[in-house]
Copies of this chain bind each other. A is one copy, B any other.
Amino acid sequence: MRLALLASAAVLAFAASSARAEEGMWTFDNFPIARANQTLGTNIDQAFLDRVRLSSVKFGGCSAGVVSGQGLVMTNNHCVATCVANLSTPQVNYAETGFTPKSREEELKCPGASAEILTDISDVTERMRKAGEGLEGQAFTQARDAEAGRIETEACGDDAKVRCQVVSLYRGGQFKLYKFRKYDDVRLAWAPEDRAATFGGDLDNFSFPRFAIDAAFIRLYEDGRPVETPIHFAWNADKPTEGEAVFVSGNPGATQRLLTMDQLATIRDVVLPLDQLIASELRGRLIRYSEEGEEQAFIAMDPIVGLENTYKRGRGRMAALIDPGFMTAKAAGEADFMQRYAAANGDGPDPWGALEAIQPTARELYPAMALLEGGTGLGTTSVAGGSQLFAYARTLVRGAQERAKPSDQRLPEFADSRLSGVQSRLFAERPTYPELEQIRLEWWLSKTREWLTVDNPYVATLLGKDSPEGLSARLVESTKLADPAVRRALWEGGLAAVQASTDPMIRYALAVDADARAVRAEWEEKVQAPTDRASEELATARFAAYGDSVYPDATGTLRLTYGLVEGSDVPGQRFSAFTTFAGLWDRATGAEPFAVAPKLLAAKDRIDPNAVMDMAVSTDTIGGSSGSPAINARGQIIGANFDSTVLTQRNAYGYDRAVNRSVIVTTQAVTVALRDVYGMDHLVEELGVSQ
Show the binding face of A for B, using Cβ within 8 Å.
Answer: 200, 202-204, 269-270, 273, 276-278, 280-289, 291-292, 315, 318, 322, 439, 443, 449-450, 453-454, 465-467, 469-470, 589-592, 594
List of B residues within 8 angstroms of A281 by Cβ: 280-281, 283-284, 287
- Evaluate contact between A202 and B284: CB separation under 8 angstroms: no
Known contacts A203-B449, A278-B280, A285-B288: does B590 contact A318 (CB below 8 Å)?
no
List of B residues within 8 angstroms of A322 by Cβ: 269-270
Cβ of A644 to closest chain B Cβ, rounded Å:
16
- Evaluate contact between A454 and B203: CB separation under 8 angstroms: yes
**Among A285, A289, A439, A443, residue most surrounded by chain B Cβ atoms (within 10 Å):** A285
Q: A270-B322, A277-B315, A465-B594 are in contact. List 9 more A-B contacts (CB 8 A).
A: A203-B450, A276-B277, A278-B280, A280-B284, A281-B284, A281-B287, A284-B287, A285-B285, A288-B439
Cβ of A460 to closest chain B Cβ, rounded Å:
11
The 4 A-B pairs of least Cβ separation, nearest first, read A284-B284, A288-B288, A281-B284, A280-B280
User: Can you list 11 A-B pairs, Cβ within 8 angstroms, ordered by A?
Assistant: A277-B277, A281-B283, A281-B287, A284-B287, A284-B288, A288-B288, A288-B289, A288-B439, A465-B589, A465-B594, A466-B591
List of B residues within 8 angstroms of A285 by Cβ: 284-285, 287-288
Cβ of A517 to closest chain B Cβ, rounded Å:
25
Choice from B269, B282, B591 contacting A467 with Cβ under 8 Å = B591
Cβ of A438 to closest chain B Cβ, rounded Å:
10
Cβ of A72 to closest chain B Cβ, rounded Å:
35
List of B residues within 8 angstroms of A273 by Cβ: 273, 318
List of B residues within 8 angstroms of A276 by Cβ: 277
Choice from B200, B439, B450 contacting A202 with Cβ under 8 Å = B450
* Distance, CA A270 to CA B470, complexed state (A): 37
* Distance, CA A439 to CA B287, complexed state (A): 11
Cβ of A303 to closest chain B Cβ, rounded Å:
13
Choice from B203, B454, B466, B467 contacting A204 with Cβ under 8 Å = B454
- Evaluate contact between B288 and A465: CB separation under 8 angstroms: no
List of B residues within 8 angstroms of A591 by Cβ: 465-467, 470
**Among A288, A450, A594, residue most surrounded by chain B Cβ atoms (within 10 Å):** A288
List of B residues within 8 angstroms of A315 by Cβ: 277
List of B residues within 8 angstroms of A592 by Cβ: 467
* Distance, CA A450 to CA B646, complexed state (A): 12
**A270 (CB) vs chain B CBs: closest residue:** B322
List of B residues within 8 angstroms of A589 by Cβ: 465
* Distance, CA A590 to CA B590, complexed state (A): 52
List of B residues within 8 angstroms of A292 by Cβ: 292
List of B residues within 8 angstroms of A318 by Cβ: 273
* Distance, CA A453 to CA B200, complexed state (A): 12
List of B residues within 8 angstroms of A449 by Cβ: 203
Cβ of A620 to closest chain B Cβ, rounded Å:
25
**A322 (CB) vs chain B CBs: closest residue:** B269
List of B residues within 8 angstroms of A286 by Cβ: 284, 288
* Distance, CA A446 to CA B287, complexed state (A): 11
* Distance, CA A528 to CA B291, complexed state (A): 40
List of B residues within 8 angstroms of A283 by Cβ: 281, 284
Cβ of A291 to closest chain B Cβ, rounded Å:
7
* Distance, CA A322 to CA B269, complexed state (A): 6
* Distance, CA A469 to CA B292, complexed state (A): 13
List of B residues within 8 angstroms of A594 by Cβ: 465
Cβ of A160 to closest chain B Cβ, rounded Å:
43
**A438 (CB) vs chain B CBs: closest residue:** B291
* Distance, CA A467 to CA B592, complexed state (A): 7
* Distance, CA A633 to CA B281, complexed state (A): 46
